[in-house]
Structure 1
């Protein structure tokens, strides 16, 4: 294995609660009411990819442009005053992979400004050779585009890359690209069909590091 590709929201950072607050705020601003619960229905997807789900839920009342605008408004204000907690084991795993000489990438459906904000505030921007954000691909997760793009920029074949994910849509994206997909669950536990797609499942990122160290799979 030559490279490891990280999802961001829910995998590296505990952003779920923040997004729920942001969508409650944006929903009230656009007239559909608190919409934070949509996080579970659209986990891992960008607004465009989840358009049908939002439309089915709110019909003609759904204002995608307004939701985007007010979500960004809330997040910018929140992130200016707060640092989103890193998930357990993130720094341990990153340092282990750096010491192993692994090439690292981020494949996140979030916009570039948000990805950069989190990585820089956490002091891990320089760990990654490649960063692919939602606006860099035509189709967001669960389509495989974002992982295919990350592998291309890493100059690695997908079968030689680990993908670390926490959501069903992310797993479908990574597996669809051909990556060996490892799950660290956040808001959702895999069903049997999804479980069968995984290379492995661990409770936190430190467990991922311990598995890699024990098996010597990166040696």
Structure 2
């Protein structure tokens, strides 16, 4: 309920067809479970999907799921080794629009 409320308050909830919440998975990141369930629920193969992340654990999970990971380094910087998990990096979420 908390996640749904936050998405509604920010005005982005209406843009999602499917959502997966933490109580629907058994293992958190870096397990790929949440991303694979989202693909399954959306009927999208991992090869067709992208993940937008700002964390190393999220990038690790995306990589394990074989999903391209777009990273926004807004709160932390990735190391050279962690950058190997990334398909493409952006400075802000707005930079992603039109650049997929």
Gaps of 5+ in 1: 1-112, 213-219
Corresponding residue of 1:145: 33
Cα deviation digits, residues 167-209 of structure 1 (max 9, x gap): 0111111111111100001322111111112110000011111
Larger radius of gyration, structure 1 or 2?
Answer: 1
Preserved CA contact (<8 Å) 2:74 2:92? no
Is the 2:90–2:96 Cα contact (8 Å) retained in structure 1?
A: yes
Total equivalences in the alignment: 100
Q: Secondary structure at the match of 1:130?
A: coil
Structure 2 match to 1:172: 60
- 2-structure distance, mates of 1:141, 1:160: 20
SS in 1 for 2:19: strand
Higher RCO, Cα 8 Å, sep 6+: 1
Ranges of 4+ aligned residues in structure 1 off by more than 4 Å? none
TM-score (norm 2): 0.93
Partner of 2:18: 130
TM-score, normalised on structure 1?
0.44
Give, in angstroms, the shift of residue 117 of structure 1: 1.1
Unmatched 5+ stretches in structure 2:
none
